[in-house]
Chain A
Amino acid sequence: MALRKMSMGFRRRGRPDPEAAERLLDAVAAGGTEARQAHGGVQDPLANLLAVAAAPARPGELDGEDAAVAAFRAARDARSRADPAPTPRTTEARGALAGASARPPAGRGRLTAGAFGWVAVVVATLTAGVALAAEIPALRPAGPPRSTPSVDVGPTSVPTTAPTTTAPTTTGPTGPSTGPGSKPPTTGPGRTHPPQSLVAQCHAFLTKGRPDSGHPPTPLVRAAGGRAEVEEYCRRLLAIDPKPGRDDPNGPRDKDAPVEPPGRSPGGNGSG
């Protein structure tokens, strides 16, 4: 009905009426067909013409759908081959990756030996790759600034991955059933390895009255990515490790400290 009025107004004047024309165009674009049908088919010819031209899809018009989707699939697969990132195909996966945008999430090589990277490693060893991809973007923004390029998913590859040996305390209940093909972190070698001592070293390091006056052990410096980073690294490590945190003698003062990284940004803010 409105469509008809607009068209009549547009037509009645001898002079052009731009406003009426705009309203007519907008009305048709916004669903002129429905307006026409609601009116019972009796319409001004011009409004009718436009509404019919903009009618909903007719069956034959969508014949190319499968071909178009096939082209889409081929292009997508070609892209993922060239750029091997997990391709989300389900709504759930999309939701999990929402923070990672369309770009590939952080690759495994970008895991760090820092505390948050360490958590990611634990997650990775216990769950499948999708879970890893979902977790990393969430973890990265707060992660330690220094990236040690040594860490693989496997818990035994490099000394700096040592923290994974504390996994049993964190993930014991679910570990055995979801372990990936690789060696589970609950096995022997890790027990005696430095990682456990990394926590202990951090503990010791921070419990000295002035942490920066001491000489941090070399493994700790390496794990932190530099001597200057050791304190922050340790605070984060202990803050996320419930066990040492429980009897942390540093008290509440230090508990707050790790939450605020001193103005350092990884630069990619998690989008990788």
Chain B
Amino acid sequence: MPTELTALVRSAQQGDEYAFRMLYRELQPGLLRYLAVLVGPEAEDVASETWLQIARDLGTFAGGPGFRAWATRVARNRALDHLRHQRRRPTVPVPVEALSELAGAEDTAASADEGLGTDTAVALIATLPRTEAEAVLLRTVIGLDAESTARVLGKRPGAVRTAAHRGLRRLARILAQNGRDAVEPVSGGPTVGRSADARAADVRAGEDVEAAQGWR
């Protein structure tokens, strides 16, 4: 797959429209879900901006196997810009009944087929602290390895691994708890999610700006 992606990138850089279309289909679902965690309902808009920039800057990508990470970084930077303007990160609503469905494993295959499961799963991951959520998503939904994930997040690989593991443990706990006693929203109210203020604090942390500047 990586070599196939590399070949597509090379063709697209030479002007091949079909190759670019294939790149979109390969990357867009993961990017959109990742963006949903970062910017909530604005994800589609930010994804559009992301692809505009990818189309424009494709020629500056040096080639090689790092295109997935490069595109993810573009998406992340667009999302962070978006959040800086908004000054907050919206909470991703998690349908409570869907969450309990997810914990009961038998039904999830069917719900995934209907498209419900994916949104719910992503929304549940979005309840993690942001670094953990990003680490888990980049490793699984986007499909980056630990090193690429670290580059995208501007952190050390060890820190990214720790964040991902912590996120997995937290998710496992939530699922186990929900399996026992229906769903008890983490932050109260009808939706599960960290408060907008907490998210905004994450974004305001200098790490993102620093990371964005380190990327070429």
B105 within 8 Å of A (CB atoms): yes
Give which listed residue, A18, A26, A41, contacts B106 with CB less than 8 A: A41
Give the CA-CA distance A223 to B85 in the complex, in Å.
64
Residues 1 to 32 of chain B near chain A (Cβ within 8 Å):
10-17, 20-21, 24-25, 28-30, 32
Give the CA-CA distance A129 to B95 in the complex, in Å.
60
Q: Which residue of A lies closest to B104 (CB)?
A: A45
Contacts A52-B121, A57-B28, A68-B24 given; indicate if A16 touches B105 (C-beta within 8 A).
no
Q: Are A65 and B15 in contact (CB under 8 A)?
A: no
B172 within 8 Å of A (CB atoms): yes
A117-136 CB contact bits vs B (8 Å, 1 = yes)? 00000000000000000000
B168 within 8 Å of A (CB atoms): yes
Q: Which residue of A lies closest to B112 (CB)?
A: A52
Q: Which residue of B lies closest to A30 (CB)?
A: B143
Q: Are A24 and B168 in contact (CB under 8 A)?
A: yes
Chain A residues, Cβ within 8 Å of B13: 102
Give the CA-CA distance A33 to B29 in the complex, in Å.
14
Q: Are A102 and B17 in contact (CB under 8 A)?
A: no
B185 within 8 Å of A (CB atoms): no
Chain B residues, Cβ within 8 Å of A91: 16
Q: Which residue of A lies closest to B165 (CB)?
A: A21
Chain B residues, Cβ within 8 Å of A201: none
Chain B residues, Cβ within 8 Å of A10: 168, 172
Q: Are B28 and A52 in contact (CB under 8 A)?
A: no
A80 within 8 Å of B (CB atoms): yes
Q: Which residue of A lies closest to B142 (CB)?
A: A29
Chain B residues, Cβ within 8 Å of A228: none
| Smallest beta-carbon distance A85→chain B, Å | 9
Give the CA-CA distance A236 to B34 in the complex, in Å.
60
The interface stretch among A69-77, A184-192, A208-216 is: A69-77
Chain B residues, Cβ within 8 Å of A67: 48, 51
Give which listed residue, B29, B102, B141, contacts A62 with CB less than 8 A: B29
Q: Enumerate chain B interface residues (CB-CB to A < 8 A).
A: 10-17, 20-21, 24-25, 28-30, 32-33, 44, 47-48, 51-52, 54-56, 58-59, 102-103, 105-106, 108-112, 115, 117-118, 120-122, 124-125, 136-137, 139-141, 143-144, 146, 161, 164-166, 168-169, 171-172, 175-176, 179
Chain A to chain B: the 6 pairs with minimum beta-carbon distance, closest first: A41-B109, A53-B121, A68-B51, A57-B29, A72-B55, A45-B175
